[in-house]
Every structure is written in structure tokens, then in C-alpha cells.
Structure 1
Amino acid sequence: MRLSLCSKKAQLIVKHTFIKWKQRRSLGLILHGAQPSTVNYSEFPLLSIHDWPAIVNSTHIETVQIGVFTVPMDTSSKATYWVHKLEAIRSVLNYVMEVFNSEIQGFDIEDDVTSSELQWIFNWMTSRTTIFKTIYVNITQATTEDLNLFFQNVKVSDGLELRGSSNNCYPPYRFFQSVRRFINITNGFWLEKRHLDSFNCTIIYLSKTRFSSEDMNIYLRKWKEGKTFSRLKLCFIETTDVNVEKLLEGMDVTEVPLETVRKYKTQRGNYITIRGGFDITRHDGVFATVNIRRWPTANEFTWVVWPDWIHEIHGESIIG
């Protein structure tokens, strides 16, 4: 059954099944610059926001009430048409939050978003007294002032992806402390060890860092002693060098022959092929496999913690 979110019937259904919707915490915004933006419930689009000139001739166009605004909507695609984009996004977000009695939890801010649009969404996010579930954002177009606002006031609970390169404004280490599921930083030249010290999530992807094999040795030692990365299951870090001796210095390890191939199942159900490597054991008996290799485009440090797939870590669900 499909219902229009703008219909009173849909609003009543959501209202009277409130617990079902609330538990999933799945309202999200996909914010585009040139393309239409969309508000979703989980992976399902609720309403999309289009520029007024883009309105098409369709037998499905109806006039609907969204907040205080009356706008045309294509009922077949849930596309709404607006004159002022940012006012439209504000109105749709407020409307959807009212219908579901829930905050927007996820933000996917695409690469085509302009500097002024980043400023607007950062201000909107910091105006909410909530911890967001996931944020994916390219920070290249953001000003120093806007990044400071974002880094100082926004908190993320599950997943964080920072793409692009900022203008000499980088997150304080405490920005990462609340993230429990994954951190993905695609241009991590600015990362320092104090940032890594604040990480305690399940999955870490860091590219273009200035970390060395010797730096990774520090964190392997800490992990063996139970002093860091207690939630870690999977880690990929691009390093400045490939030095196995420095990586493993001072640790008891078991070298696995290169011809030994193991499959590591990820949280998405995919498999990573582990060829050889070095097994290390934590003080509590948990063991991991690490390796560092030179590839054509980068040096990569790999760290996987066994068992490869469990449904729950420290009482927290690992999803998708």
C-alpha cells in the first residue's frame, strides 16, 4: 500500500503506529546542489524538492499543503516544486519531523552542494538539540567559519564520512569520540595521532594520511594491551611507508604464509580476501590479522579483528 505523506490518512497511520517508526530512527536528507534533494524514511523516498521551473506537464500534479506552504506535487513520484530551494528544504524537514514526531537522523550532503548551501545546512543542524545518526559530507566548499561551527557543535553517533579537503580548519579530536560504528576520511593528510586516540568505532577507513608504519605499531601495542580501539573490527589506513619490521617491532606475532588465503566477512555480507599477514593476540585472547603492503596507488595498512562477523558488539547492532 502506498500513501501520500501529504494526505491526512498517511499522517494518522504514522501517528497511531508511532513506536514502529520511532524505533528505526531512519529519517534522512540527501542534499544536492544542482539535482533535486530528497527526504527519506530508511531507503524509501518520502518527498523530493525540485526547482519550480522544472515542473512537468503531468496528469498527476496536485496542489498540497506542506507546513504553511501550498505547492504543486507530482503524486506519482512525490516530487514537490518550489521557488526558493532552502526555504523548501526547511519546510519539508519540519513537516516530515512533525508527521513522524522524530528528528532527521541522517545527512548525505553531496559534492555539488555550494558554499552557501553548506552554510545553511550546518546552521540548521547546529540549531537542533540532537545527536545525529550518520553524516556524509564533502567539506571542500565550506568556509573556515562554517567548519568551526560544524565541528564544535555537531555530534554523530553511528557513522561519519568526511570527503574533500578543508581550508586549514580541522576537527578537534573530541569531534570523533561519539562515533561508534564507522569513520571514513578520504583526504586525511591533516590527521594526527591525537585524533586516532579519540577513535573507538567498529570500522575505520583513512586515505592519504601522514601516518607511518611506526605510528601503526604504537596502536597495535595499545590494542594488545586493551588500551585502544576496543570496538574495532575492520581498519584500512593509507600510510607514508611500508616497513614490516617497524610495524611489528616489539610484538609477538605469528606470520601466516602468503599462500594461506582467508575470507573475512564484512558487516555488509561481502568478503575481503586476506592473503598471509601477521596474527596478533590481545590480552583477552581476541586475535587480529594485520599487514602492510605497497600497491600501485598507495601504501595500505590492513587490520581485521576476528571473528569476522557478529551481529552485536557491546550491545550495539551493526547494520549495513
Structure 2
Amino acid sequence: MARYIVKRVSYALLTLFLVSTITFWLMYLVPGGPFLSEKAKSEATMAALEEKYGLDQPKIVQYKNYLVNLLHGDLGVSTKQRGRSVNDIIADGFPVSAKIGGTAILVAILIGIPLGSIAALNRGKWIDHLIIVLSTTGIAIPSFIVATLLMYVFSVQNNLLPTYWRGDFKSMILPVISLAFYPSAYIARLIRSSILDVLGQDYMTTARAKGLSQFVRLFKHALRNAILPVVTYLGPAIAGILAGSFVVEKILTIPGLGGAFISSITSRDYPLIMGTAVFFATLLIVLNVIVDIAYKIIDPRIKLN
């Protein structure tokens, strides 16, 4: 296990280096700059701004400074949100995204696993067909469409829920449903196909021959093996949702990390773009390692090499 963790950490550091390098150079391949979208400035003002943020130096020097600062945990200073560091912006936005995203993932698991199990146990029946239709619909409709429809029905038409973030329970309902809609449908499809595969195994036939109840066969024997594909999916899914569904947060005016990332792209806030990209890559890598370890816990037969 220790050797595996050391190897994964080494791969993680290499991946982060590649992500930061590619993101840095892609920023400078795009024509324009972070100050060109604002009102016209004098050459002296532009030179002063570039000197302040180190943009007057050669690109290779900027790249070296960026890597050195990154090693010290310094993601730089925002060029648009004056006086605020990227670290502070992420520290302010991520807890909001994590609160909504964590709730959405929990809702998706609590809905997706039972629905998939019910569909598998009633294969070919009307409830199986209904769940398949619902899950296919959930996979096909993007989360931002769900958010727009929910906002129109429950906020604009009926004034039942707020269309903006207030930090209370009611303002969490729309974003949580919007973010949980797709993963719950996808988890239901994964669980259904996995359980159908597991039900045909010899040990399930033995369990049935022993007279074990359907509940015990499902939750003690079938679900433990059928859950592995869901665990694989949850790693990147949790990272994506926790980092903030960019468009959903923008639609529902949630002050999370997703909205900050969208704003940084439209305003060409280079340090914030690179900082959020590195943060998301780190989150994704860490969660993938946790998923691999969870594999070993769920199924001891799996060896981590």
C-alpha cells in the first residue's frame, strides 16, 4: 500500500506539472491581454499595470516565477479583483460550491442506487421500463437546462423558491436538484446493469438456494460487488460537482468557484484561470486516489499495484 501511494503521489505531481504548464502557455497563445477589454488606457498606465503583475518580463521568466510561487502554494494575485489573491478567491468560493455539491452528490446516491436496484429486480416489467426512460432523460438533459426550467417554474411563475443565493435551505433546493439530476440518472443506469450482471453469478445462485431473502441477497451479496462501477464514476463526478458546476452557478447567481472561473475566462484574469485549473486538477487527482483505496476496502481481492 505504501509503495502504491508513493507511486500515485509521484504521478500526481507530474500531472499537476503538466496541467500548470499547459494552462500557462495556452493563456498566452490567446490574442489580447487582461487589460485590453477595459476602457482605453495610456501607454504609461498599461506599462505600469504590466510591471505590477510581472507581465512585462519574458514569458520564460514569468513561467519560472509562476512555478516557484506554485511550489510555495501561492497562486498569484487576481488582475481583475484588485487586492485579492487567487488563494483568497478559492477559499471564499469553494466552501459554497462544496456545500451545494456535497448535498447534490448525496442526493444522487440516495436516489440513483435504489432506483437502479428496483429496476434490476423488476427486469422487463413496467417499473423497469419507467426507470430506464427517466434515467435516459436525466442523462440527456444538461444540468443548466434543468436549472433554467426549475427556476422558471418554481421562481418566476410561482415565486416559491429564490433565484439567487441566500445561504439558507430554500436557496439550496434549485442548485442541488439541478446538479443531482444527471448523476442520479447515471448512477441508476450503472447500478441496474451491474446488478443484472451480478445476479447471474454462481454465488448469487448459491445464496438463493440457501433460502436467503431477496433483501439480504441484494444488499449483502449483490450490491457490494455491483457498487464498484459507481465508485469509479463518483471520483471525477464528485470533483466536478464540488469544484462547482460553472454554468449552473452562473444561472442561479451562486457565489461559488464555478462563477469565479467563468468570470475569469471572460475577463482574461490569467492568475485566476491558472489557479482554478490547478486546484481542480489537484481535487480530481486526490479523489481518484481515494477511489482506488475504496476499491480495496470494498473488494479485498483487488490488489493495488
Specify the TM-score bucket, using the shorter chain as the normaliser: under 0.3
Higher normalized strand content (fraction of residues): 1
TM-score using structure 1 length: 0.25
Greater RCO, CA 8 A, separation 6+: 2
